[in-house]
Amino acid sequence: MPITIEEVNDSVHCVKWWINFGNTVTSGKTNKTIQFARFFAYFDIACSYSEINSEDRSYSVELSLKQLGMITRSNSIGNREAIPDYYREPFAVSIVSKKDHQQHMFKRESDGWKINTTLKKSSPSHILAIIYIQFHSFIEISDLLKHLIAIYVNQSNCDIHFHFKNGQKIGGHFSILAARSPVFAAMFNHEMQEKKTREVFIEDIQLNIFQELLHYIYCGRTGTIMTGDTARLMLVAADKYDVPGLKEECIRILLIHLQESNAFELLIWAEQNSVEKVKEGTLNYVARNFKTICQMEDWETFILNYPQLSLLVTRHFGSIN
């Protein structure tokens, strides 16, 4: 069963998790990764359970919520993101008890939020956990972001235009782009052709990726949720225009989506594009799962085509064993 996330108001989200216990299993563990698009934050939600009473289908349950991959941000004012990490962190976490219909609070610990409670199966194989996660309210920031997004989306009073191969173009604002990207600042503030014409021709970035880059520059987050594939393209664009917050966000998404089926492909891409954090994270992942991965057909192909990377993988495996 899926996890659903409903935005109750500006700062509270309701997470409904149908936890699959099975028909005969009496204890176990399970976890999921969830994302809150408004805050561009990923969390791991986990459950450990053991049966108390088979007749009334009650279980002792430990639930935990842990934020994944906090983004490191610069302290300089020019590089601050529109949504600070403070607003991405939960202020309070609670679960609704079916027994007394009250909200019981999770306890804040060093590695996240946890609670020990008793839950009953709502069906022969599932328990429904209704969890409320409250973030710090950022109404003022939200209003500001709405105005900035509107300026960009509506293309109001643009004083710089970006042209693409297919004849399409999008506009931007000289002062905003220069303040958020040192590359744009250099382009617009020095005696370059772009400063004179206020026209920029983009030949190496897709239109939809460049649009998301500008969206992030204006409001500190992309307009759509990135996938592993779009994160690669976004990272290259963010690196070219020196937008460090977006680079870190792309790296985090790539590592969150890392799995055995795409590990070699991602490692090769990271090596070819000199993305050291992704390369190191992927090497560590492959090394930790080496006993399984080395049985895959892709491993033999990888060894033949990328011997230097293969050597790095085996060295990492040796270092952790």
| Better-scored residue on pLDDT, 27 or 65 | 65
Length of the chain: 321
Q: Are 33 and 225 in contact (CB under 8 A)?
A: no
Distance CA 148, CA 82 (A): 10
Could you say which of 227, 254, 281 is where a domain stops? Answer: 254
Same domain, 250 and 154: yes
pLDDT digits (tens, 9 = 90+) for 88-99: 678 889 998 766
Residue-level pLDDT at 210: 96
Q: Is the pTM of this model over 0.85?
A: no
pLDDT at 82 over 50: no
CATH of the domain at 219: 3.30.710.10
Phi, psi for residue 283 in degrees, rounded to 5: -60, -45
| Better-scored residue on pLDDT, 103 or 151 | 151
Per-residue pLDDT band for 77 (boundaries 50, 70, 90) equals very low
Same domain, 55 and 181: no
Q: Give the gyration radius of the chain's Cα atoms.
A: 23
Residue-level pLDDT at 246: 92
Same domain, 109 and 152: no
Same domain, 94 and 121: yes
CA distances from 110 to 88, 123, 127, 182, 184 (A): 16, 34, 27, 36, 40
Per-residue pLDDT band for 231 (boundaries 50, 70, 90) equals very high
Distance CA 296, CA 308 (A): 19
Same domain, 10 and 112: yes
Same domain, 242 and 267: no
CATH of the domain at 308: 1.25.40.420
The residue assigned the tokens 């997470």 is 15
The residue assigned the tokens 């977006």 is 246
Domain housing 241: 141-254
Same domain, 164 and 133: no
Per-residue pLDDT band for 7 (boundaries 50, 70, 90) equals confident
Same domain, 54 and 159: no
Could you say which of 88, 119, 137 is where a domain stops? Answer: 137
CATH of the domain at 76: 2.60.210
Distance CA 135, CA 300 (A): 47
Residue-level pLDDT at 23: 67
Residue-level pLDDT at 72: 38
Same domain, 202 and 218: yes
Mean pLDDT of 43-53: 90
CB atoms within 10 A of CB 274: 9
Could you say which of 91, 121, 137 is where a domain stops? Answer: 137
| Better-scored residue on pLDDT, 85 or 266 | 266
Same domain, 7 and 131: yes
Q: Are 202 and 160 in contact (CB under 8 A)?
A: no
The structural domain count of the chain equals: 3
Same domain, 40 and 123: yes
What is the widest separation between alpha-carbon atoms in the chain?
79
Q: Are 231 and 253 in contact (CB under 8 A)?
A: yes
Mean pLDDT of 81-89: 54
pLDDT digits (tens, 9 = 90+) for 138-180: 555 566 777 888 888 889 889 899 999 888 999 999 889 998 9
Mean pLDDT of 263-277: 94
Same domain, 44 and 81: yes
